[in-house]
Amino acid sequence: MKRIKPILFILLFLNAFSYGQQKPNILWITIEDTSPQFVGCYGNKDAKTPVIDKLSEQGVRFTNAFSTGTVCSPSRSTIITGVRTFKMGTGNHRSNYTIPEFIHGFPFYMKQQGYYVTNNSKTDYNIGNVIEFTMQAWDESSDKAGWWNRKPGQPFFAVFNFMDSHQSRTMTNTFDWYKTNVLEELPEKDRIGDNDFEMPPIYRDSPEMRKQFARVYNSIKLTDNKIGELLNRLDKDHLRDSTIIFFYADHGEGEPRGKTNGINYGYRVPFVIWFPEMYKNLSPWGTAGVVTDELVDFEDLAPTLISLAGGKIPDYLNGRILIGKNRSKPAEHLILSVDRADNGIDMVRSITDGKFMYSRNYLPFIPQERYIRYMEISEIVQQMRSDLANNMLDPLQKSIFMERPAEFLFDIENDSWETHNLVDNPGYKQVLEKMRKQLDEEMRESRDVMFLPEYEIGLVSQTGNAYEFRLDDTKYPFDEIYSVASLSGKRGKDIAAKQALLLENPNKIIRYWAIIGLRSQDSETLKPYRKKIINSMNDGYLPVAVTASAIAFQEFKSKPAENKMKELCKNDNMDIALMAINYLLYVKNKEPFIETIRLVHEMPNRNYNVKAACMDFLGSLALVLNNPDNEN
C-alpha cells in the first residue's frame, strides 16, 4: 500500500475539516406544475415515472406536502426567502416589489457554513433588485451550474429545475410544438396514448380533451427520464452515498382548475426525500419506502436546509425544521394563499389539516377558470369554453366557469378531485367552524399585507417595503381592515347594509373592501344603495372609484359609470388599468367598451398584463356574442 506523505495527509485533513466533509451533500430536484395524482408512486397506475417511483421506494414519500401558492413566482418567493408571500407582499405573480435588506436567499446562510451552492437555473423570485439578491444567494446560478465546480471535499447544495412538465408543455404551447419538443423526445415505448389513462371527472371525457390531456402524462414522463440522467451523473461522480436528495414540484398541476386556483388541486405537490445510508439517522420517519402524512409546505424548506448546513436560523424565518437533531414539532394545519396570476386578479386564503381543505374566496365573482391570457390561448381551454357554449359540460365541469361561493370545504382525503363542496352540509359544521376560526387567527397574527390592493403595495414600495409596513398599526390597522374584508364574498341584505355604511369610512382600505364586498351582492340587494355606489365613483382613492364604477355600470346601466370605466382602462397606473379591464371581463354588456379596449391594447406604454387582459376581453366578447346566456 502506498504511504501518504505527512504534509499531504495534514493538507487533506485540514481540507476536510474546513469544508465539513461530515456534512451531507444535498441535491434538490424541482419540477414544474405537477400534482401527485399524475405520479406512479402516488397511486396512478397509468403514469410512467420509474425514476421518481424508485426514489420514493427507497426514500420517504410525503402525502401532505403543499406549495404555499399555486403559481410559480409567488411559490418560489417563499421557497428562496422562507417568508410567506402574504407577509412579504410578494403574492402577486411576477411583481418586483422591494423586500427588507436583512432578508436573504437561504443559500446565503449555507455558504457561510462552507457549502458550495448552485442553481441550475430558474430563479423567478418575484422580488425587487433580483440580480443582486441572486448573486448574493448563490455561488453560481446558470444553466451550467452544478456540484462539479466546488473545491475538493467541499459539501454542496445543488438545485436543478426541470421545465418539461410546465404548463407551456402540457397546454399553452401549440400541439405541434408539443409533438416536436415533448412527444418526439420520448422513445416509442415511453409514450402514453390518448386512451391510456383515466380522465379526471372535472374534465369532459371526449377524444378532443383526451388528445390534449395526454400531454400531461408524456410531459411528466420526459421529466422523469431527465431526472434519471441527472442521478446517473451523481452516481458516476461517486456522490450518491453522501447526498440527500429532495424531489418536489413547485405547485399543483398546470391544467384548468389546478394551477392559479386556491384549492387542493393547485396546492398539493409530490414530495420525496431520499437519504443515503450515511445520513439515514437524520430522518425522523425512517427510510426505504416510508410514507408519512406529516404536513409540510415551502415555508419549511429554508430553515430545514440552513439547519442541515449547521447554520443559525434567522429570526424572520417561521417555518419548521423537518429533519435532523433540531427537528421542529409537527404542524397541525397549514395556511396557503393565492393572489393575482398574470393578468387575472384574485385573492384566496386556505387552511388544511391534510384531511380537509377550507378556502375563503374574497373575490368570488371571479370564477375558478378566470381569464388569464397564458391559459386562454391553449387548445384545451378553447375546447372547454366551446364545450361550455354548446352545453356539453356536466354541472361540475361547468362550475369552474361560474361565480364561486365565498367558501369551499373539501374532504381531500376521500374526494381527491374536490367534487363536493361541504360548506352547506350540516355533518361538517364543526369542521367548518374550526377551520374558519383558525384561518381568522392566522390572518390576524400574520397581518396579511396582501389585503392591500396591489396599487397600494406599489405606492408603499416606492419608499419602503410591504413586510415592514404591515407591522405598523397606525399605517395598517389590520384588525379593522380584516373585519371588513371578512365580509367580502358573503351575500345578503344584512351584509350589504354594513358594507354600504362603510363606504363613508375615513380609511381608504376599509372603503376599498366595502366596495369590493358589494361587488359580490346580487342586483336586488344592491338597489337601496344605488346613490352611495354612484357617489363612490368619485372617491379620491382609485381602487374604490374603479370598483364602484364597475358596479354602477353592471347593475344600474349608468352612463357616467360607462365613461368613467373607459377612462380608468386608460389610466397611467397599470394596476388601476388592469383592475378596470378585469371587471369588464365579467360584465355581460361588453359592447360599449370594444373600441376603448382596442385602443388601450395599442397604447405603447401598456405592460404585458394590461395588454393580455385586453386580449382576453376581446376573446370573451366573441364567446358572449355566440352564447348570450354565458355571462363569463
Under a CB-based contact definition with an 8 Å cutoff, are residues 392 and 204 in contact?
A: yes
- Quick one: pLDDT at residue 20? 43
Q: Which three cell numbers stand for residue 34?
A: 405537477
124 CB burial (10 A radius; 0-12, 13-18, 19+): middle
The pLDDT, as a whole number, for residue 22 is 86
Q: Residues 88-109: what's their mean pLDDT?
A: 98
Say which DSSP state 360 is in.
E
Range with the poorest average pLDDT among 9-23, 168-182, 486-500, 554-568: 9-23
Q: What is the model's pLDDT at position 346?
A: 98
Length of the chain: 632
pLDDT at residue 15, rounded to an integer: 40
pLDDT over 70, % of the chain: 95
**What's the angle, vertex CA 370, arms to CA 369 and CA 371, rounded to 5?**
120
Write out the DSSP string of 268-303. Answer: B--EEEE--GGGGGG-SS-SSSEEE---EEGGGHHH
- The per-residue pLDDT of the chain, averaged, comes to 95
Task: Give the count of beta carbons closer than 10 Å to the beta carbon of residue 625.
Answer: 10
The SS3 call for residue 337 is strand
Helix (H, G, I), strand (E, B) or coil at 17: helix
Helix (H) or strand (E) holding 62: strand 60-62
How confident is the model over 571-583, as pLDDT tens digits? 999 999 999 999 9
The x, y and z cell numbers of residue 114, run together, are: 462552507
CA pair distance 375, 503, nearest whole angstrom? 35
Question: Is the pLDDT assigned to residue 477 strictly greater than 70?
Answer: yes
Q: What is the pLDDT of residue 18?
A: 41
Question: What per-residue confidence (pLDDT) applies to 243?
Answer: 98
The Cα–Cα gap between 79 and 300 comes to 8
Lookup result for grid cell 350589504: 496
pLDDT for the residue 624 = 53
Residue 231, all three cell numbers: 442521478
> What 8-state DSSP symbol labels residue 239?
-
Half-sphere exposure at residue 239, Cβ-oriented, CA atoms within 13 angstroms? 27
Neighbours of 212 (CB within 10 A): 23
Flag the least confident range among 7-11, 54-58, 362-366.
Answer: 7-11
Largest CA distance in the chain: 96
CA-based R_g, the chain, Å: 25
Quick one: three-class SS letters along 547-589?
HHHHHHHHHHCCHHHHHHHHHHHCCCCHHHHHHHHHHHHCCCC
Q: Which of 405, 401, 300 is nearest to 359 (CA)?
A: 405
Q: Provide the strand spans (E) within 123-265.
A: 140-141, 156-162, 243-249
> What is the structure's pLDDT at 163?
98
Supply φ then ψ for residue 589, to 5 degrees: -90, 90
pLDDT level of residue 632 (50, 70, 90 thresholds): very low
Which positions ≥6 away from 53 have C-beta within 8 Å?
A: 39, 40, 41
Question: Taking Cα atoms as reference points, which of 607, 608, 601, 604 lies closest to residue 584?
Answer: 601
What is the pTM (predicted TM-score) of this model? Answer: 0.95
On whether the CB atoms of residues 519 and 365 are closer than 8 A, the answer is: yes
Q: Is 64:322 a contact under the CB 8 Å cutoff?
A: no
Q: Is the pLDDT of residue 2 over 50?
A: no
Give yes or no for residue 385 having a pLDDT over 50. Answer: yes
User: pLDDT of 33-52, one tens digit each?
Assistant: 999 999 999 999 999 999 99
Q: Which domains does the chain have, with CATH numbers?
A: 6-167+240-332 (3.40.720.10)
Predicted pLDDT of residue 6: 45
CA distance 505 to 552: 20
**Number of helices (H) and strands (E), helices first, in the chain?**
27, 14
Question: Apex CA 147: angle with CA 143 and CA 149, to 5°?
Answer: 85
- Nearest to residue 609, comparing CAs of 384, 455, 461, 485? 455
Average pLDDT over residues 542-550: 98
DSSP state of 513: H
Burial 595-615 (b: 16+ CB within 10 A, else e): ebbeebbeeeebeebbbbbbb
Whole-number pLDDT of residue 194? 98
